[in-house]
Structure 1
């Protein structure tokens, strides 16, 4: 019964609507920039106008064509890129402009380390959307001066709803209600997982109490534009799912598995009890038969011994010594045989012994499963992404070769650390604002990768913590692996409570070379 209750709970969790994590939009915001058109009056730089853009690759920024139109028309104007996080602003040059669909691609003059935004490969047709950008009316309300536009500031996020797709101005656009204003142009329109579904471009004029609608250039326009300019954007086509929902599903799955194991154990116990009863009956009948046969044989031997004894006595009276000796020997032999038959009868405890032996032989005969390469002792795997248990925000590999050694070495080059029976490796790159934590469970052959997208300050702390220890080379001893696992806790303890991305891979032993 518990199995079905747990199974129902798991199905209910799977059917529960999922809500994305706010951290996803925050992470996407760190790849959004202010695009400033700059003039000069002698040595002084003067902002002429500004819009918004977002990173789609290393040193590549997307914005609207109309945002940079002034710089196109007047070569004395420059384009500045101001990141949302940090202190450094840089210049940009124009790579490509498409007036038809109001798109422009810029290249920064130096690498700002901006995290590229992921573009949805399967954008929604309805639901909540978020506009990210730098609306000028917010700057005005804050009393910002033009010079303040060169300071790094987080962009503004505004939530609305997707109202459909419709062609306009000879391009494919998305109609939505997430408020945008002058300055938002060129900024991303994202889903709840922070994935780009459009580039905000313009708004509909509102008359009095009329509802306000806004337009974003769709990814149907954006993707061909990027590819035509040698940009391979990071894409994700999976469903937008929250980690809370995934955790609930995992807990329901564990409960269902525990209930299944308990039910199987009860069934096995019942089957064992039934089998034990059957063996006990069989052994009981056999022992009782053997005991009865022994008693009958002893009684028969006693009769023979008695008869032979009487005959011996008769021959003794008649003084026939030879015949007396033969009869006496027969009597003694029969008596000894009867005693032996009586005392060699199987005891009742023999029933239990025979049942145990039979169960042991059956268990040994059933343990004939194939030996699988890999497991806790190490081996070569192919790990396949389990999308039903993953939260995908980027563009991960679907299949990974994974050579595991029992000392925690992966692919003969990367040593994992061990903490409380868990093997893990923390990766803190120097040129990317993200921390990845990979964990492998040899018992279940399951690889989990969690990725944390961090701001500048948090990333600096992570790099500082990572600089406090050195990763051992492959082939580390048990003590070294444990010390390394403990050292990595300095990084993981400073990470947010939940990652932005979780990838669960199911690993199976790969066939030896030459086999298929």
Structure 2
């Protein structure tokens, strides 16, 4: 449609057509209203399952199954049981293997032997059993117990616990048979006790009996081993001291090193824990649902307001169409004016040239032409271009009695030239009557310029042929064709400058002898 639009009366029709294309689609397209979504559906769309927190209440409940009570029966000489009984906690780190503190299972000096027993969590259905200590590490206060018949899932290790991470100390304190310590407390900075064992401070309370139990993050992953007797700093009297309200645990990295030395490969959790308690999740869900319900109510209000404004929207579209029509009409008028001015100017040039040609009776004889730069026809003129004069002999296509031009099929004249010192080549065009002269300059790369000059030089110097020497004229014509073919192989891009001169006859030139 647009391609068929001309100027004048057709321009108005084009403008009206474009305006209708803008206005009518909005008015004619029926609106489809979706069924309102429920709050649960909006909630499902808002929450990405990949970013849902782990339920720490359920995760820690599951981790309880892997924590065991450790009991140590001491016997004196002759196998007589001693009154003292060792008590602590431990946890499963691999199928059939348990970790606890070494000080929990260490026999006192008065005992000649010790029997180690474990009591699994009641929900596992496993009974107590005697176990064997297969490896110990006194500096790290760790001991590895072997329980081949124990069928309890091991806990995973998380090797890079972070500062201010919430943790839980699990174990069996001596005051109860139930799992007690659920510390909503924070992991503090790693302890610097000057020793060779990585430890960490925390504020999750640890009581006698918790020793050897796991220190867990909220996802139920091991970040340390509860230690009752490890030291973190020196007091004023030279004794090791733990600040009030802080406790010490063997770092999970030290535990992993200990297990590796024993040939045990625990399960490692590489990703950080993101968890919330069941109560926190319930509150978050309630808040999210409330926000989703509010968002849905707002959406419905906006939809109703949109329906109420449909008539006003149609009027807005019609007003927009009117503005488009007005803008296009102004644009068309500007283009028409510019086009008419250009046509008028070109007509003046043509009439002036025709009058000059008629008055001066330009023939194929020798004439002298004076030329002025036509700035309107020279979008990128040659720097420094100005008036020029030359003698033109149309019959021989010769300028200044020495420079030959190649005559084209339409009667116009063509010549190519190249600078010996600068990387520029030019295309020179002269109209049939000699009243319009055009120069197009091309920039060449250094390599192309050198090759062009070399090949052009090989063709020799071109001079106007004698009018009565047919052989010389034929040779010149052949050479001009070769020069044109050579030039066109190099001047393939757009010209850097284009300059047009308008010429007129000044005075009769002397005839060629």
The answer, yes or no, to whether TM exceeds 0.5 is no
Question: Structure 2-normalised TM-score?
Answer: 0.40
Larger radius of gyration: 2
